[in-house]
Structure 1
Amino acid sequence: MKKIAASDMAVAKKTYLPATIIRWLMHIMCPQPLQPNETGINQEPMKAAYKMRSSFLSIGILGILPALLIFCGSLHAQSTPSLALKSNMVYDLTGGINLGMEFKTGPRSTLEVPIVYNPFSFGNGKKWRHMLLQPELRLWRCEAFNGHFFGLHAHYAYYNVGGIGSRWMKGYRFEGWLAGAGISYGYQWILSPRWSLEASIGVGYAYMDYDRYQCRKCGELQAREKTNYFGPTKLAMTLVYVIK
C-alpha cells in the first residue's frame, strides 16, 4: 500500500475543505430526492417535510448573507476621524485666542498642535499677554478621538504679564520666555458624529528666562532671572469639531 506523506495529507485537506463546504451548502439548499420506497411506507408526508425544510433553509441563508454584507460594510464605513479642529474653553475664559488642529497618525495615536495668543491688557495695569505653542503626541487606549488617552507634550511661550497671581507677583511685571515638556492624561466624549468634548490635565517642567520690573506700567529693571519650574503645565476643557 502506497504511503502518503504528512505534507501531502495537509495539502489534500486544504484542497478539499472548500469543496466539502460547498457540497454541504448545496446539500442544504438543494437536497437530493429520497430513494424509491422499498418498504411500502407512504413517503409523501416525508417528501413534503423535506421540501419545506430545504425551502426554509434556502430562504434563511439567502436572507442572512445580504444582512451580513450590509453589516460589514457599515463597520468599514464607520472609521475613526483623521482630522479635527479644536478650541480650549479655559483659554477662552481668560481672553486667549486659541485654535488647535489634531491629526491622526495611527490607529491609536494622534498629534495635537494648539496655538494660544493673548494680546490684551486688563484694567488697573493687569496684563496677561503671551503667545503659547504646545504640541502633544497622544496614545489612545482603544481608538483615536474616543475615550482615554495619555499625552507627551512640549511647550514654548513668550510672555509679558503683571499685576496678577500671588501677592509677590502682583507688584511686578515679568517679560521673557519659557520652554519645557510634560505628560498629560485626558478623556474625550463623543457628542455627535461631528462634535466632541475633551478634558485633559498635565504636569511637567518649564525653564523660564525673564526680566523683572518694579511696577506694572513703568519702572527700572530689577533683575534678570532664570527659574526652573515643576508643576501643572496644562489644563483644558476643549470643544472638538471633526473635519474628516
Structure 2
Amino acid sequence: MKLNTYLLRQVILILCLTMVSATWAQDTKKTVINKKTVINKLVVKEQKAAPKTATPTSKKQTSAKVKAAPKNDKKRKVQPVKKVNNSRYIALKTNVPFDALAVQNLALEVQLHKHITIDFPIMWSISDIEREHAIRGIALQPEGRWWLKKAGTGHFFGLHTHLAWFNAKWEDNRYQTAKRPLAGAGISYGYKADLSAHWGVEFNIGAGYANMKYDTFYNIENGAWLNTRIRHYWGITRAGLSLVYRF
C-alpha cells in the first residue's frame, strides 16, 4: 500500500508540473506576439509620419510648375504711416510756471508761412494769494515768430508787444493801472521739442521795454490814494515753459 501511495503522489506531481509548464509556455508565446504587434504598430506610425521624398521630375515638369506658380517677386507695397497734417501748424499752449503761481493762461499759435507763426497768449488772475498779497489783472502779449527750420519745430526768434491792466497788493501798498494800460515791446528766443505726434514742450525767454502809469493806495479796504507814478522798465518781458498741444 505504501508503494502504491508513493507512486500515486509521484504521478500527481508530474501532472501538476506538466500543466504549469504548458501554461507558462502559452503565456510566453502571447508576450512575444504582443511585443511583435507593438513594434509593428510603431514602425507603421513612423512610416506615416516621415515626409515623402520628392520623386524625380523631368525638366519639362519642373519648368511647367515654375510657370504655374504664382509670382511672389513683386515687393509688397508698404502703407505709409499716418502722420499729423503738417500743412499748417496750429497749437494750443499753457505756461506751466504761471499756472503754478495762480496766473491762468492760454495761448493760440497759428502758422502764416513756412517759417512764420503768430502766437497770441492771454493771462489773467482773479484770486488773492492772501490779504496783503494779490495780483489781479489781465495781460495780452501777441508775438510774431520766425522758425529757423520750419513752423513748430526747433529754434525760433520772436518780436512781441504787450498790454496789461493790473491791480496788485504788496505789503503796505496797492498798485493799480491809471487811465491807460501797461504797454511795451521786446524780442525773444525759444525752442520747441516734440514729445509725441500732438504733444510737445516749449521754452522761451525775452527782454524789452514796458511803460506803465499807475496809482498807489494804502493796502487796506478803501485805502487812501498816495500818488501816481510813471515808470519805464527795461528787462525780462517774457519767459515761460509751456505745454503744447498741436492739432
TM-score range, shorter chain: 0.5 to 0.7
> Residue 80 of structure 1 contacts residue 144 of structure 1 at CA under 8 Å; is this kept in 2?
no
Aligned residues: 172
Out of 206, 209, 233, the position equivalent to 1:205 is 209
Indicate which of 125, 128, 132 corresponds to 2:135: 128
Residue 242 (structure 1) aligns with: 246
SS in 2 for 1:91: helix
Aligned equivalent of 1:180: 184
C-alpha separation between the residues in 2 aligned to 1:77 and 1:118?
34
CA deviation after TM superposition for structure 1 residue 77, in Å: 7.5
* Residues 43-86 of structure 1, C-alpha deviations (whole Å, 9 max, x = no match): xxxxxxxxxxxxxxxx7xx759x77xx7xx77998625521111
Q: Which runs of 5+ in 1 are unaligned?
A: 1-58, 164-169
**Separation in 1, partners of 2:208, 2:147:** 20
- Gap change, CA 1:240 and 1:223, over 3 Å in 2: same
Letter in 2 for 1:199: F
Distance in structure 1 (CA, Å) of the matches to 2:149 and 2:82: 16
Q: Deviations over 1:159-190 (max 9, x none)?
A: 00011xxxxxx331100030010111010010
Matched, 1:190 2:194: yes
**Cα distance change on mapping 1:220 and 1:150 into 2, 3 Å:** same
Q: Could you tell me how far apart the structure 2 residues matched to 1:147 and 1:90 are? A: 21
2:224 paired with 1:223: no
Question: Structure 1 residues 89 and 214, CA, compared in 2 at 3 Å: closer, same or farther?
Answer: same
Q: Quick check: which has more Rg, 1 or 2?
A: 2
Deviations 1:121-167 (A, max 9, x none): 1213211101000000000110111110001000000000011xxxx
Structure 2 length-normalised TM: 0.64
CA RMSD after TM alignment:
2.2
How many Å separate the matches in 1 of 2:213 and 2:166?
Answer: 10
Q: What is the SS of the residue equivalent to 2:99? A: helix
Aligned-pair distance for 1:98? 1.1
